Amino acid sequence: MSYKLLALSVDGVLLKSNERMSKETKEAIEFTRKKGVHVVLVTNRSFPSAKKIAKQLKMEHEMISHGGALLSGISGLPILELQMNTDVVYDVTQLMERYPCRIQLENQEMELENKHPQTRKGLGKIQFSLGEGLFQPKTYTDFISTKVYEKQLNGLRLFGEFENEKDAQRCSAQIKESIPDILVEEWGTQLIIKHKEATKMKTLSYLLHELGIFPEEMIYIGSGLSDIEAVRMAGIGVAMGQSPDSLKETANWVTRSNDQNGMAYMIKEVFRKQMKVQI
């Protein structure tokens, strides 16, 4: 089997625990490109953050960012953009604002966060942490819903950080009951709300179809729970050594950890005997 596409998460795969990229990682990506393999980033990071990583790797291929909500070229021009429209964003944020909750709206142009006094007092030091960096510098406003209405803002993603899991679960249930065609992910006290099709797996499937590459011709390397579906669909699905057990159990291959250059080791083992491919 010749593999034509290598899809990579960023945090926990390309980056070590200290947020740096090793020389071995850069060399492995260059080695893979020389084999004619299409290399794609698939990340929870925003597009500007993902682009910085791509520049370090001298990549020019497409990127999937915002957790699957945006597929774009290196220029940032969208190939597939799965946004929630203004009405949906307004309705969701109004429901979230019933709770002491830190709310962030993310789209390709900006990030907007509320600055309600209760939020600052109770939640000001809490950081979103799903295994990948999510945020860039942002603009603050008193109420997200008001700004959404005034500026007619769409959204790639909404994040909510609640004081407790009970509030998060109650708000999640209200959103699901009231607003169709969205995806609500629950992570303890955190909620992530996106377009219902905005997942890494579904956006990656779209890219594969556009490139004429079959899923079995892809290698996917991930490290977090949001990578499970994409790892499952790949010809070789790889989990990093530090990954949660549920991802390791899904994967075909468990490599070394990110701090042990597990990605570089794995892809050199796979591609060293493969002839150059044409896409």
pLDDT attached to residue 119: 47
Mean pLDDT in residue range 128-138:
50
Residue 188 in contact with residue 165, Cβ under 8 Å?
yes
Single-letter amino acid code for the residue at 115: K
Residues 182 and 239 in one domain: no
pLDDT attached to residue 74: 87
Number of domains in the chain: 2
Residues 23 and 152 in one domain: no
Mean pLDDT in residue range 72-91:
94
With respect to residue 107, please indicate whether it lies within any of the assigned structural domains.
yes
With respect to residue 45, please indicate whether it lies within any of the assigned structural domains.
yes
Q: Taking 50 as the threshold, does the pLDDT of residue 207 lie above it?
A: yes
Q: Taking 50 as the threshold, does the pLDDT of residue 121 lie above it?
A: no
**43-64 pLDDT tens trace:** 999 898 899 999 999 998 999 9
Residues 49 and 16 in one domain: yes
159: domain CATH number is 3.30.1240.10
Provide the terminal-to-terminal Cα distance of the chain, rounded to the nearest Å. Answer: 15
Residues 175 and 217 in one domain: no
DSSP string, the chain: ----EEEE-TBTTTB-TTS---HHHHHHHHHHHHTT-EEEEE-SS-HHHHHHHHHHTT--S-EEEGGGTEEE-TT--EEEE-PBPHHHHHHHHHHHTTSSEEEEEE-SS-EEEE--HHHHHHHTT----SSS------EEES-HHHHHHHHT--BSEEEEEESSHHHHHHHHHHHHHH--SEEEEEETTEEEEEETT-SHHHHHHHHHHHHT--GGGEEEEE-SGGGHHHHHHSSEEEE-TTS-HHHHHH-SEE---GGGTHHHHHHHHHHTTPPP---
- Among 175, 192, 209, identify where a domain stops: 192
Mean pLDDT in residue range 222-235:
95
Residues 51 and 17 in one domain: yes
pTM for this one?
0.87
pLDDT attached to residue 143: 93
Residues 93 and 158 in one domain: yes
d(CA 114, CA 143): 6
Single-letter amino acid code for the residue at 106: E
With respect to residue 278, please indicate whether it lies within any of the assigned structural domains.
no
Structural domain of residue 244, as residue ranges? 5-81+199-271
Q: Taking 50 as the threshold, does the pLDDT of residue 194 lie above it?
A: yes
Mean pLDDT in residue range 114-127:
51
Structure tokens at 196: 């219902």
d(CA 182, CA 41): 24
Q: What is the pLDDT of the chain when averaged over all its residues?
A: 89
pLDDT attached to residue 115: 82
